[in-house]
Amino acid sequence: MLKLDAVTVRFGGLTAVNAVSLDMPAAGILGLVGPNGAGKTTLFNAISGLVKPGTGAIRFAGNDISRWPQYRRARAGLGRTFQIPQPLAQLTVRENLLVAQRFGAGAVDRQRLDEILALVNLLAKADCDAATALSLSELKALEVAKALATDPQLLLLDEVLAGMESESKRAFRGMLQQVHERFRVGLLIIEHDIETISALCPRVVVLNFGEVIADGAPGQVFRDPRVIESYTGQATA
C-alpha cells in the first residue's frame, strides 16, 4: 500500500527526515510517534505532497507518487488531516464534504456523505458555517470527515486527538476505530498520547531526529531504551 524508500527531506542545512523507509500494508493501522521536532509532520507533508522529498521514493498503491502534486495524491486515495484544523472557510460543514467528495472522489454521493457525517457526529451541524460554529473536537471531526469524503484508502491523521480532554479522546478513538472498519481505510496516526496509540495501533514506528529508531508492537517499542531516551533525553541504566 504505502512504501517509503529512503525518503529524505532537507530544509537548507537541516535534515528533517533522514532516509526513512517504511512499509505499510493495506488497511492497517500504524502509529507514528516521536518527540517534538522528530520529523513526523514533515514526513506526513512529504507523503501528502506539501513538500517534495530531496531523495528517496514514495510509493502508493503501486505508483511512485514522489513527484505528484497534492491534488493528484488525494484523488489516488491518500487523505490527510492537519494538526491545526483547516476547515474550508465560508462553506457549511456539508459543503466542506461536498467539495472533498466532488473533487477527491470524483462524484457526489449524498447518501455516503450523510453516512460520514453521522459517523463523526456532525449530522446535526451539517448546515452550519464550518469555520465559526464548531468546537475544537468538532473541527477535528470535520478534518477526518473531509478526508473521508475523498474516498481514501489511507488516511494520514496528524494529532487529531491533541488538545481534547480524556473523555472526548476516548470517544474520538472509538470513532476512528469505526472509520477504519466501516470504510476499510488504512490509518497512519501521529499521536503523543501513549494510551491512545497503544489502544489503536498494533504497530508503532518511532522517529527521532528524522530517523526511524524503533518499529514494532507498542508494548515492545515503549520499553525500548532508545525510545525512552529519545523522550527523556537521558540514558537509562
Partner 1 sequence: MTRPSRFAWVLLLAGLYVGVPQVFGGDLYLMSNIVAALTIGGIALSWSLLGNLGGMVSFGHAAFVGVGAYVSALAVMKLGAPVFAGMILGGIGAALASILIAPALRLRGPYFALSILAYAHIFKIIATEWKSLTNGSGGLSSIPRFPEWAGFDFGSKTGSYFIVLTLVLLFAGIYHLVRRSDYGLALRAMHDSEAATRVVGVNSLLLKALMLLLSAFMAGVMGAFNAHYINFLEPDYAFSTLWTTLPIVAAIFGGYRTIAGPLVGAMGVYLVDQLVFKSLIPSGHQVILGALLIGMILWSPGGLLPPLIRLFNRRAHAQA
Q: Are strands 154-158 and 186-190 parallel, antiparallel or unpaired?
A: parallel
What does the alpha-carbon distance between residue 128 and residue 123 come to, in Å, rounded to a whole number? 10
Among 1, 8, 54, 95, binds partner 1 (CB under 8 A): 95
Residues 139-168 vs partner 1: string with x where CB under 8 A?
Answer: -------xx-xx------------------
The residue count for binding partner 1 (CB under 8 A) is 33
Instruction: Name the one residue in this structure whose C-alpha cell is 464550518.
Output: 130
According to DSSP, the residues that pair with 188 across neighbouring strands are: 30, 156
Nearest distance, CB of residue 128 and partner 1, angstroms: 16
How far apart are alpha carbons 160 and 141 in whole angstroms?
A: 8
Q: Which is nearer to partner 1, 111 or 234 (CB)?
A: 111
Say which residue the cell 478513538 belongs to.
173
* Interface characters, 58-77, with partner 1 (x: CB under 8 A): -----------xxxx-xx--
CB of 133 to partner 1, least distance (A): 15
Under the binding rule (CB under 8 A), the answer on residue 190 touching partner 1 is: no
Which is nearer to partner 1, 100 or 221 (by Cβ)? 100
Q: Which residues have a Cβ under 8 Å from the Cβ of 82 and sit 6 or more positions away?
A: 143, 158
The DSSP letter of residue 92 is: B
Query: What secondary structure letter does DSSP report for 129?
Result: B
75 phi and psi angles, rounded to 5 deg: -70, -25
Q: Which residue in 2, 98, 120, 179 binds partner 1 (CB under 8 A)? A: 98
Query: x/- contact string, 105-124, with partner 1 (CB under 8 A)?
Result: x--x----------------
